[in-house]
Chains A and B, each alone.
Chain A
């Protein structure tokens, strides 16, 4: 195996890892702060991809404006879903199961709405101007757009980390995750915090979907694949663990990139194998010290 092959696949894996991280971090954020597992998170990713398509091909906006439009649209959709539906079942007994069912119904509804609005055919979004070509370094051909994704992803990681750990809204979100009642007693509007966190997380999902749109064609039903991949990421990294999600995404992205290049037909099975191995040897996640078991 020659080294240039390894480097090219590594970059491709890094691109995949960045997109996975953007989705999985939103999933982890909602779970950490709101204690909600958003089954429909992948559907917001898909919505983001369609919003980007709509902005670029129908409204003829600039690609980057389209990305922001997509993130905003997915965020608003998330805020609506949370405040109109999900909010009604907080605190109900045996809440967990019903939350899953409600977010599952979001998947079905969003999938069909997408089919009604955009049809079932594949849609494609062109790469932005200036990012069509590739970078030639040391005889390697690295697609410029993939590199752009990696850089943007790193920026988002740093911004998210800084916001969560060094700003007041971040502290409020983290404190709400630990003790909702005390936060309410201290005058924090907890329901509003949860809604906003949900909106930010779904916006991250939509952002990832829009960024991925030029690489993968946009289709309805993409939501379920994405949610399972991000689930595998959080299983590897440990749920509610920001850096765990990042490392989990990195591992899964690289494994998938090399699997696609070496055994293309069975690549989709390999990611499950990684998950099963983690479950056997460290069920609480590779980077999580605490037990996940909550029964």
Chain B
């Protein structure tokens, strides 16, 4: 079963890679390429978020902080130093992400459950406040426009493949992590924290580790986004961004590794269709969230699997 499961996930990664790789060849418009890039970036964001929530049971409501950190590291370097600093900006952002997530992580994992959630929200809003008010440095509410990667990356298609490669490598690393002994330990932290010390492991140490790792990949996703949209805005740090990634994960299914990616794809496509036609997008996603939480808590992928199990057992009983 375990073997079959890992074959299945490898197959899924290959299909995903091939599907997104051939997308630009099929006469797609620039807009569709951008949509595909959004799905990739948000997919990485959602999968790294789900390493925290679905796997380890830490529902963070402040991941927008790290997403924005990645975007603003790139954006601020390009704005204040020059376009050549696009890629070095990404590295600086990742380094900052490790330092900041270690510091904040040490504070927020001291409290559990609901408090973890609201404290991460508070730190996220603090980062948003600072970015919003520090007009001279960050451009405040105006955001930063015209962020274009230098050299060969300035080409849309090249940047798309650049994004695809980084997202696939990151997802592969996270998949390996989730299937590794550490991944099993993280599930143990969620399901039975009292037993973790019996394994000679520490709950808090495991939580801190996955918090830093998850924030690292979130920052990476944010820095990629700066080049996809060519502009960044303080909204990337606002709490609704954290809410959106939660919605994607819960829609796709938090019990499966690839659930959040499917959820990200679904939300971006729905946003493209519905969001453009209504100014009440929050009302729409609020009602969607309510329906999922009340009726389909396992998400699309989880409900589908449950249905399959039900059908096979029904067929067996029948035959």
Question: Which A residues form the contact surface with B (CB < 8 A)?
Answer: 31, 37, 39, 85, 88-89, 92, 94, 96-102, 104-109, 111-113, 115-116, 224, 228, 231-232, 235, 239, 265-266, 268-269, 272, 275-276, 279-280, 283-284, 292-295
Contacts and interface: CB of A to CB of B under 8 A. Distances in A.
B297 A231 contact: no
B110 A295 contact: no
B283 interface: yes
Contacts of A100: 59, 61, 114, 117
Contact of B59 (A31, A97, A105, A275): A97
B57 interface: yes
Nearest to A115: B280
Given A101-B250, A101-B289, A109-B283, A89 B125 contact: no
Contacts, number: 117
A173 B294 CA distance: 27
Interface of B: 53, 57, 59, 61, 107-108, 110-115, 117-119, 121-123, 125-126, 129-130, 133, 193, 203, 239, 243, 246, 250, 280, 282-283, 285-287, 289-290, 293-294, 297
A112 B286 contact: yes
6 contacts: A101-B289, A108-B243, A108-B282, A235-B115, A275-B122, A293-B110
A239 B115 contact: yes
A211 to B, nearest CB: 24
B118 A37 contact: yes
A276 B103 CA distance: 11
B289 A105 contact: yes
B133 to A, nearest CB: 6
A283 B110 contact: yes
Contacts of B286: 105-109, 112
Given A89-B294, A101-B250, A239-B115, A279 B280 contact: no
A111 B133 CA distance: 24
Given A92-B297, A231-B122, A104 B289 contact: yes
Contacts of A39: 118
B283 A292 contact: no
A280 B280 CA distance: 40
Contacts of A231: 118-119, 121-122
A274 B117 CA distance: 18
B280 to A, nearest CB: 5
B126 A272 contact: yes
B289 A292 contact: no
B126 A102 contact: no
B300 to A, nearest CB: 16
Given A85-B290, A101-B246, A279 B119 contact: yes
A219 to B, nearest CB: 15
A228 B121 contact: yes
Contact of A235 (B119, B203, B293): B119
A112 B288 CA distance: 14
B304 to A, nearest CB: 20
A54 B130 CA distance: 35
Contacts of A292: 111-112, 115
Interface centre among A101, A272, A280 (most CB of B within 10 A): A101
B114 A272 contact: no
Nearest to B118: A231
B118 A109 contact: no
B129 to A, nearest CB: 5
A83 B231 CA distance: 44
B53 A293 contact: no
Given A97-B53, A235-B119, 4 more contacts: A112-B286, A115-B280, A269-B130, A272-B122
A112 B112 CA distance: 31
B267 to A, nearest CB: 14
